[in-house]
Amino acid sequence: MIVPWLIALLFVGGLLAWASERFGAEWPRRVALAVLVLELLLLASLLGGSLQAGWLAEFNHAWLPRFGISLHFAVDGLSLLLLLLTAFLGIVAIGSAWAEITERTGFFYFNLLWTLAGVVGVFSAIDLFLFFFFWEVMLIPMYFIIAIWGHENKFYAAKKFFIFTQVSGLLMLVAIVAIAWFHYLQFGFFSFDYLDLLEVDMSRNVEFWIMLGFFLGFAVKLPSVPFHNWLPDAHSQAPSAGSIILAGVLLKTGAYGLVRFAVPLFPNASAEFAPVAMTLAAISILYCAKVAFAQADLKRLIAYTSVSHMGFVTLGIYAWNELALQGAVMTMLAHGLSAAALFMLAGALQHRIHTRDLFAMGGFWRHAPRMGAMAMFFSIAALGMPGLGNFVGEFLALLGAFQANQVLTIVSAFGLIFASVYSLWVIQRAFHGKFPEASLDPGRLPDLDRREMAYYFAMVAGLVWMGVYPQSFLDLSAPTLQALLEGQAVLATPGAPQP
């Protein structure tokens, strides 16, 4: 019963945050922070719980029984890790917006909490119609966050974000309805339940085309080349809190969809499509790393690095063995923290100096050493420094992918070299060299305060914990991944992903 309460808490909390604005502009952020702290505590209570029918928590109630639609929520180790990441980064996003968002604060935190409610629904819904419902719920408030509180080209970025995600979502809806229809033809009743749809048998061509609908829906959100074009605009124009949720949480819903639905529901088609998906992953890693190096806009640069690093997730998923899947999960978690921290730093810089132009920066370390130290840490974390979570994730993903496709794995590994180049170039460009005294007063660059440092230290601790003791995360997701692999032994074919 706890899962519906997790979602209801965020929906009701969003309404309370909006209503509390009448008592003062600071009340909405206090309400939102209290709601997310409570959400995190409720999720933490599931840690160490016993599995019930394969789930740590489950709720199932008929919604539209005539069409086989139910309110079926369930949480296992994989979804719990992503739910914990969601609540934690929600708190970080509030910290980022604390001083940045000063207008219509009630409506802002309403949209933030409702976006997170949609994400929690996506990570816990087992009924595919319910999954699609929450997939749409998380998009609309994010559109408002970008369109209202974004920067100079916010309307263009918000419309682009909405069009890309809506079109891909509609393709996925068609695919969901199609597989439910084939379930009806085969068993005589409609069902959108994931566990029922796993039993559907389809012809080779039908399975491939329905799988492609799921893949496109998830690949746009991931995003993967060539469906990534919306992301740099959305990131560069969104407020810092929006960028944190986009990079840290929303991108992970696409990867989760691939692991939970796209491959298990269509094992034969996924095996056939795996070389294509892994090729797109390798292209994403290398191409977006190259494009990132050419950016002058700091937030666009970080956005392209996100696409590049998420390529390792796609690579690991379609390698489809335990090492690769564990690497994909660890990369999702570690990238969520490192990307969120980098966007938070970029937003802090923009809030202080009112520009994202790297060529207008320089010598900031002397005036803001704490900011420089945090930027250095999260940059080396993102490039895969051993001892931190990103290294564990990408190393495992590459190790597992090597068992499935050696050539693409070797090509993808060059992305680690490119990551070192653009990460260190950003540090050199912004924090070393000559301070631009002609255009910037040092007084406009105050260093990070104690409140901001508390958020960064929490993310530092998370990345160090993942890097030094990754087994605690691997053990939590292992039962889910092993069950997926054991149920998809058909993928153990030459040249295809191997369980």
Answer yes or no: are the C-beta atoms of 399 and 409 closer than 8 Å. Answer: no
Domain-wise residue ranges, the chain: 276-499
The answer to whether the CB of 180 falls within 8 A of the CB of 191 is yes
User: What's the pLDDT at 52?
Assistant: 56
pLDDT the model gives residue 356:
86
Q: Which residues pair with 55 in a beta bridge?
A: 52
User: Nearest CA to 481 among 323, 335, 281, 334?
Assistant: 323
Per-position DSSP letters for 337-353, written without gaps between them: HHHHHHHHHHHHHHHHH
Q: What is the pLDDT of residue 497?
A: 40
N-terminal to C-terminal alpha carbon distance within the chain: 33
The pLDDT of residue 492: 35
Length of the chain: 499
pLDDT at 51: 59
CA-CA distance, 193 to 58, in Å (whole number)? 13
Instruction: Say whether 52 sits in a helix, a strand or coil.
Output: strand
Q: What is the secondary structure of 122-145 as a DSSP string?
A: HHHB-BHHHHHHHHHHTHHHHHHH
Q: Which residues contact 437 (CB under 8 A, 6 or more apart)?
A: none
pLDDT string in tens for the chain (499-residue length): 788 999 999 999 999 999 998 988 889 999 999 999 999 999 998 887 665 557 888 899 989 888 889 999 999 989 999 999 999 999 999 999 988 888 889 999 999 999 999 999 999 999 999 999 999 999 999 999 999 998 888 999 999 999 999 999 999 999 999 999 999 999 988 999 998 999 889 888 999 999 999 999 999 998 888 888 898 889 888 999 999 999 999 999 999 999 999 999 999 999 999 999 999 999 999 999 889 888 888 899 999 998 999 999 999 999 999 999 999 999 999 999 999 999 999 988 888 888 888 888 888 898 889 999 999 999 999 888 899 999 999 999 999 999 999 999 999 999 888 888 888 888 988 888 888 877 777 777 888 889 999 999 999 999 999 999 999 999 888 888 988 888 643 333 333 443 3
- pLDDT attached to residue 344: 93
- Give the burial string for 176-202 (b: 16+ CB within 10 Å, else e): bbebbebbeeeeeebbbbbebbeebeb
What single DSSP character describes residue 248? I
* Nearest residue to 246 (alpha-carbon basis) of 117, 379, 86: 86
Is residue 277 within 8 Å of residue 185, measured between CB atoms? no
Q: How many CA atoms lie within 13 A of 480 on its CB side?
A: 22
Residues 6+ away with beta carbon under 8 Å from 205:
none
Give the three-class secondary structure for 484: helix
What pLDDT is attached to residue 491?
Answer: 38
Interatomic CA distance for residues 373 and 387, integer angstroms: 17
Q: Are 389 and 466 in contact (CB under 8 A)?
A: yes
